[in-house]
Every structure is written in C-alpha cells, then in structure tokens.
Amino acid sequence: MAKTLKEMEKAKEKANLVTIYLDGKEAKVPEGITILEACRMEGFHVPTLCYMEGLSSWGGCRICVVEVEGQPNLVASCVTPVREGMKIRLSSRAVREARKTNLELLLSNHPLDCQLCDRNGSCELQELAYEFGVREIRFGGERKTYAVDMSSPSVKRDANRCILCGRCVRTCREVQSVCAIDFANRGFDTFISPSLGLPLGESVCINCGQCILACPTGALSEVSHVEMVWDAIEDPGKFVVLQTAPAVRVSIGEPFGLPAGTVTTGKMVAAFRRLGFDRVFDTNFTADLTIIEEGHEFIGRVKKGGKLPLITSCSPGWIKFMEHFYPELMENVSTCKSPQQMFGAIAKTYYAQKMGIDPKDMVVVSIMPCTAKKFECQRDEMCASGYQDVDFSLTTREAARMLKEKGIRLEEMPEENFDDPLGISTGAAAVFGATGGVMEAALRSVYEISTGKTLEKLDFYQVRGLDGVKEASLEINGMEVNVAVAHGLGNARRLLDQVKAGNSKYHFIEIMACPGGCIGGGGQPIPTNLEIRMKRIAAIYEVDKNLPLRKSHENPAIKKLYEEFLGEPNGEKAHHLLHTHYMPRERI
C-alpha cells in the first residue's frame, strides 16, 4: 500500500535505516520503503501516473521509472524497494527519454482534444505532457474508440480518454469494496468495463464518484446537471431554490485558488445569489432536522426494543451499497431521508405554502460534494411533495464551473448570509461534512433530549479524524451507549459483517461512503487527497466552533417548523415527508 509522508516519517523512527544515493545525494531512509517514497521523503519529485496514495501499487504506466546503477533495465520507482547502497539516477537521459516515450505512447492512443475535456486544466496527463516538453507524437497509429457511457445517473465514462492506469479499478475495489469495474480484454484491446460488460448504470456501481477523484484524465466525470440548472435560472416562470451541503463551503474556494481548508460560507452565498438563484438556503438546516428525526428514531428504538444498531442513512452511496450487498441490514438503517431530500420535501411543501408558490413552479437545486446525490434525487421514492423533491444536484466542481462561466470570482465576493428560514443552522449540522459528524451531532441531541441534562463537553474527539473505524461510548440514563463510525465502504464492511453475524456491540453506527466523509466526496474539487481531506475537516470543525448554536434541537427555525407544520418528531406528517424505505438490489 502506498504510504503517506506521515506514515513514512513514523516508519523512519522505528525501522532500520539504509543508505541510498539519490542523484548522488546520500540519504538515510527506512528499510522496506520504495524508491518513490524515499524520493518524496527527501524532497525529490518523481512524476507518476498509475501510482496513487492509499492504493496498492500497480507499476503499469512506467512513467516513474528511474535508473539503478548495476541494473540493466530501468525500474519503476513506485514498486521497487530501496536497498542498502543503492545508487539511483532520477533524471538521466535514459530516464527522461523513457518517460517521454511512454507518455507519447499513451498520448498516441488518446483523443488530444484537451479543450473539449472536463479535466482541461486538472488533467495529470496534460500536465506531464507539458512538463516533459512533448511537442509531437512520434508514434502515431490506430487509436481505440469507444462509445461514451452515459447510462449512470451520476458517473459518465469516456473510455476514449482512459490511459488504463487502473486507479479507478483499485479505488472501487480496495477503498470501496464495490468492484463495479475491472479490466476487460487484454493487450491493446484492454479497457475498463463495468460488471459483465454492461453499461455502468446497470452495474453495482454505487455512484460514489471516488473513481472520478482517482482518474488522472477525463475518462471519468460526473453526469452534468449544469445546463438544466441554467435553464431553470433563466426561466422567469420558475422559483429556483438552492441548498448547499455542509462540505461545500470548505472546498469550493479551491477551484478559485484559495488554499484547501478555507471557510468560504459567506462568499459562497454571495456568489450563488449573483448566479441568479431566487433563494440561497442551506442543507445544514435539514441536517439539523435529520438529527431531530433520527435522534428520536434512535431513542424510540432503544425504548421500544426496536432493531439495533441503528445505522445512519445520509450517504446515498452507502444506501445503494447496502441495498446491493447487505439487504439483510435494511431494517437497521434509519428510515430518515438524507438532508438533501428532507430539504426538497420541506421546500416544496412548508416553504412553498408559506410563500404561496405552487410547488410545480419551484425548482430545487442542490450543490453537493457528491455524485450519488444525483442518483438519490431521482429515486422514485423521493417525491413526497407530489413532485420530484430535489430537481437537480450539482457537484462542487460543477458549481464552481458555473460561477466561472458567469465570471463570478468567489474570492472577491463579500460575506453574505443565507436566506431565512431554511438557511438557519447549528454547529451540529456543520459537522455533517466530516466523518463522525453525524454521530457527534446526534449524540449532542440524543443525550440532552433523553436525559434533560446539559451536555458538558460537546466535542466528541473519539469519533473525529481519519481512522477507518472509530468508536465511542456514552452513558445515557444509566445505559452504556456504544457507537461506531466508518467511512469508506471497505472500512464499513468490518462493522457491517459484525452486525450481520449478530455480534455487534454497537447501538448506533454512522457510515459514510466516502473516505473522510462528505468533504472527501466524489463531487469535490480535484485533487482531493489525504492532506486536503485533513484540511477540509479542520475547516468543518472551525465552522462548528464559531457558531453560536451547536446543538440541532436548539435551532429556532427547526422548532418553528415543528410548531407550524410538522407537529411531533417522527409524527405522521414527518413520517410522510421525511422518511423513506429501501429495496434490495441484485448483486450483478
């Protein structure tokens, strides 16, 4: 497994050191690491394509080759371990020539129409071609052509742009344990294929979009809703309402050159208002609502001896994963809709009534760090208002592109506030964006609602951070409540298999499909890597800390919503609008 710098530093403390020479410079590095890892530790840059942090090493692209003295062939630095006394040349003529040749070979089977590509500007192949000074492709010949696969509601596959690095395949297998795609055929005819050669939309793909983040080129991207949103904005007969997810405010600055982890809530609101939305609301509002509904569901299950552990339902990638791979756990999963869908249902009923708008003239657009949200909003069940509750779901990337298209510079925007009342939220909602956040928010409310006491320490550090599985326990009314959190579905399997086997000690489990939670979602700006994930998470907790209210049940707008409209939490109306059901799916 490719290691992070931090892990390597840790390894350095423990392991035996070996002496190697990088372009003549002596370096002492831990035994057992690869040449590439050694280079990164020592501050040497080695270009890569098929290598990706957090995935197993593949060694197929042959871009990261280096020369090792005494060895007749060049070696791939990403898979070659260091040895005592190794003398490594990182940029000899042979190395540069080989890298360039292999890159040219990849380009000779590539469309070369960068201007027409989603990834123009963020493409690793394009960047390497620039860095290596490729000015012509010496080896022309047949180029493989494939039909673009638009069958999925979330992920668009353009195999013409694929360079067969396998990062998507490894992500889907190793991180998500979904295995929706794999290599098919062999040799020059090799391509990446969904299950059984079917279109992606008919496969077990859970729409999480992690493959898009992994893709170095434009072979994978989201199915775009941009044009539909422009149409809605420009249609004077439509009242277009926007909701922005908790994780978007800490990442949308990146495409505008702001450092990762910059909180841009106010600027973001201003920018989208200028884009032409009639109202700019906040998904955080319904995140608070989710906590009330889900919290009461949990309390109810504990009291009435209902199915436990209760498992969260905010992540639509996780939901589809459950339907394919763990249908037997369907009753464990909370019936609560995700905040995006609760928002749509409330907007087109409560808010529409309040404003006297016919819901058929209302268009609800969401900006999500997520590609699975595109699928979620199109699910048949998601029409509680009588119309499709959320009409369009944009990724953070699409939203940034729309702003740029209109010439709006996010970084220059003034700070503005969300519209009322669906823009009011607490810190508990803010932390939804990071892994562990839903659990933390739920614990804050469940404790206070159940015990009637005030929680002294609001910060549940045990459930924060990037460990794959985290756990905590809390005494509530004399009962030891055990909770667990997993992000990345490969990690989630560890908890789910226990539940399936009937030996889970947990009462409440949070699962997010994407590593890091929503801040690492498949709709987030590229690159999204470990370092950037950590910065976004830090920003999420900064938002929480700075808000006056940090518990969902203290949100005044939510209280008002129940008083004016919903009645009781988990009541009949709430059940109709805010809860859903699931269906088992084939594991093809």
Partner 1 sequence: MEESLYREIEEIIEKYREEETPLLCVLQEVQEKFHYLPRNVLGYIAKKMNVPSSTVYGVATFYSFFETNPVGEYVIRVCKSTPCHVQGAFNVLQALKRELGLKEGETSKDGKFTLEVTSCLGVCGVAPAMMINDVTYGNLNDERVREILALYRR
Partner 2 sequence: MFYRTHVLVEMTSSSVAFGAAQVKEALEREIERVGLKNEVKVLETGSFGASLPSPFVVIYPDNVIYAPLRVQDVRRVVEEHLLKGRVVRELMLAGGLEWKTSEFAFPFPLAKETRVVLRNSGFIDPLNIEDYIARDGYMALAKVLTEMTPQEVIEVIKRSNLLGRGGAGFPTGLKWEFTYKAEGQEKYVVCNADEGEPGTFKDRLILEGDPHSILEAMAIAGYAVGAREGYIYVRAEYPQSIRHLEEAIRQAGEYGFLGENILGSQFSFWVKIRKGAGAYVCGEETALLESIEGKRGEPRVKPPYPPQKGLWGKPTVINNVETLANIPPIILRGPEWFKSIGTPTCPGTKVFTLTGNVNNLGLIEVPMGITLRELIFEIGGGVRGGHGLKLVQTGGPSGGTMTPDLLDVPMTFDTLPKYNSALGSGALTVVDDTHCIVDVVKSFGEFFLHESCGKCTPCRIGNKRIVEILEKISEGKGTLDHLEELLHLGRNMKMTAFCGLGQAAPNPLLRCLEFFREEFETHVKEKVCPAGTCQLKSLQRTVR
Rounded to the nearest 5 percent, the helix, strand and coil shares of the chain are: 45, 15, 45
User: Contacting partner 1 (CB under 8 A), which of 159, 179, 228, 258?
Assistant: 179
Residue choice 121, 197, 257, 556 for contact with partner 1 (CB under 8 A): 197
Q: Report the alpha-carbon distance of residue 318 to residue 328 in Å, rounded.
A: 14
Residue 376 annotated to the active site: yes
* 185 contributes a contact to partner 1 by CB under 8 A: yes
What values do phi and psi take at 116, rounded to 5?
A: -100, 10
- Residues found near partner 2 in the complex (CB under 8 A): 57-63, 65, 73-74, 76, 79, 81, 94, 97-98, 101-102, 105-106, 108-109, 138-139, 141-142, 164, 183, 185-190
Nearest CA to 289 out of 247, 353, 338, 352 is that of 338
Residue of 221, 313, 518, 551 marked catalytic:
518
Min. distance of Cβ 53 from partner 2 in angstroms? 17
Q: Which does 65 bind (CB under 5 to 8 A by kind): partner 1, partner 2, none?
A: partner 2
**354 labelled catalytic:** no
202 catalytic residue (yes or no): no
Instruction: Kindly state the smallest distance separating residue 587's Cβ from partner 2, in Å.
Output: 18
- Judged by CB under 8 A, does residue 437 bind partner 1? no
Query: Do 283 and 369 touch, CB atoms closer than 8 A?
Result: no
Q: Which listed option, partner 1, partner 2, none, makes contact with residue 194 (CB within 5 to 8 Å by class)? A: partner 1
Say how far apart CA 380 and CA 4 lie, in whole Å: 42
92 phi, psi to nearest 5 deg:
-70, 170
Of 48, 109, 176, 193, the one binding partner 1 by CB under 8 A: 193
225-259 as b/e, with b when 16 or more CB fall inside 10 Å?
Answer: bbeebeebbeeeebbbbbbbbbbbbbbbbbbbebe
- Residue 132 or 146 with smaller CB distance to partner 1: 146
Helix (H) or strand (E) holding 510: strand 508-512
Compare residues 31 and 497 and give the one whose CB is closer to partner 1.
497
Q: How far apart are CA 481 and CA 478, in angstroms?
A: 9
CA–CA separation, 324 and 303 (whole Å): 30
Lay out the site mask for partner 1 across 56-85 (x = CB under 8 A, - = otherwise). ------------------------------
Q: Select from 194, 295, 369, 522 the one that contacts partner 1 (CB under 8 A).
A: 194
Among partner 1, partner 2, none, partner that 198 touches (CB below 5 to 8 angstroms by kind): partner 1
Catalytic residue list contains 373: yes
Determine the interface stretch with partner 1 among 42-50, 96-104, 174-182, 262-270 (rule: CB under 8 A).
174-182
422 CB burial (10 A radius; 0-12, 13-18, 19+)? buried
Nearer to partner 2, 169 or 322 (CB): 169
Contacted entry of partner 2, partner 1, none for residue 162, CB cut-off 5 to 8 Å set by kind: none
Closer Cβ to partner 1, 179 or 226, answer by number: 179
- Closer residue to partner 1, CB minimum distance, 180 or 352: 180
Assess whether 168 carries a catalytic annotation. Answer: no
Whole-number minimum distance, CB 11 to partner 2, in Å? 18
Considering only residues 528-587, where is the footprint of partner 1 by CB under 8 A? 587
CA distance 33 to 451: 52
Q: Which of 42, 53, 202, 381 is catalytic?
A: 381
The whole-angstrom separation of Cα 466 and Cα 439 is 14
Closest CA to 524 of 405, 391, 422, 372: 372
In the annotation, is 518 catalytic?
yes
- CA atoms in the 13 A half-sphere facing the CB of 491: 21
Contact 317/514 with Cβ under 8 angstroms? yes
Residue ranges that bind partner 1, judged by CB under 8 A: 173, 179-186, 193-198, 203-204, 587-588
Catalytic residues: 294, 297, 314, 334, 373, 376, 381, 518
